[in-house]
Amino acid sequence: MSDADLDTALKGAHADPEDLASAARQTSVYVYEAPVRIWHWINAAAILVLCVTGYLIGAPPPSMQIAEATHQFVFGFIRFAHFAAGWILAIGFLGRIYWAIFGNHHARQLFILPLWKRDFWREIWFEVKWYLFLEKEPKKYVGHNPLAQLAMFGFITLGVSFMIVTGLALYSEGLGVDSTLYALFGWVFTLLGPNPHVVHTLHHLGMWWIVIFMIVHIYVAIREDIMSRQSIVSTMISGHRTFKDDRPD
């Protein structure tokens, strides 16, 4: 039985009884390949550095009085860490797109939403009720549940893409209008207005958009590990989804 068949069986959407019985016998399924897991943790570290340094860039710390200001490079180090983490985020995201093409079907969940499927929207509503403690029993999913998939697309696929594009545009501004990077991303200032502070503000607001997602993501992952019928946190370490009971749905 393939991962795709097992995924359908565990979702319980028009599943064949034989598939459900087969799924019930599965205790562990290999879901996330090594490139996906490595990208997840590097991406998490890069976003953490970007959020901390980005906040300090927007609200600079006071000068340290241990030496003359000309002998210090505190803000320079903050900017360097921000730019380095930004490049890691951008290059890693390109690698993630590559693996979405050549990896297994779970690697594509971050970029493709089955919006045309009625079952997808019905199960999103079920997951909303589950997270609001209005459902007594959670469902099993091999990959992301539909609500998590929708959130990942909105906050990571779209959110990180926006932050990369606006971040590179702001970086190119410092390099000058004659730079290659400005030639590639200068259109952002044309699109969002001639005042570069608009791009700065939107980029800063995007940081808080990502921070909100990080808080919710960590809470939900730990909550599901405790309350749901499958592993969550350890799956992104080992790659295997482990199920806690033998009921198919």
Residue 19 falls inside a structural domain: no
pLDDT band at 143 (very low <50, low <70, confident <90, very high): confident
Residue 196 falls inside a structural domain: yes
What average pLDDT does the structure give for the chain?
85
Report the percentage of the chain scoring pLDDT > 70.
84
Q: Provide the pairing of β-strand 28-30 with 240-242.
A: antiparallel
Q: What is the pLDDT of residues 5-46, one digit of tens each?
A: 444 445 444 444 444 444 445 588 889 999 999 999 999 999
CATH of residue 188's domain is 1.20.950.20
- CA 249-13-142 angle, to 5 degrees, is 55
The string of DSSP letters for 18-36 reads HHHHHHHT-SEEE-S-HHH
pLDDT at 222: 92
Full residue range of the structural domain in which residue 53 is found: 30-242
Residue 248 falls inside a structural domain: no
Residue 70 falls inside a structural domain: yes
Average pLDDT for 218-231: 89
pTM of model > 0.85: no
pLDDT at 174: 86
Residue 153 falls inside a structural domain: yes
Domain count, the chain: 1
Residue 249 falls inside a structural domain: no
Residue 84 falls inside a structural domain: yes
Average pLDDT for 197-212: 93
Residue 12 falls inside a structural domain: no
pLDDT at 132: 92
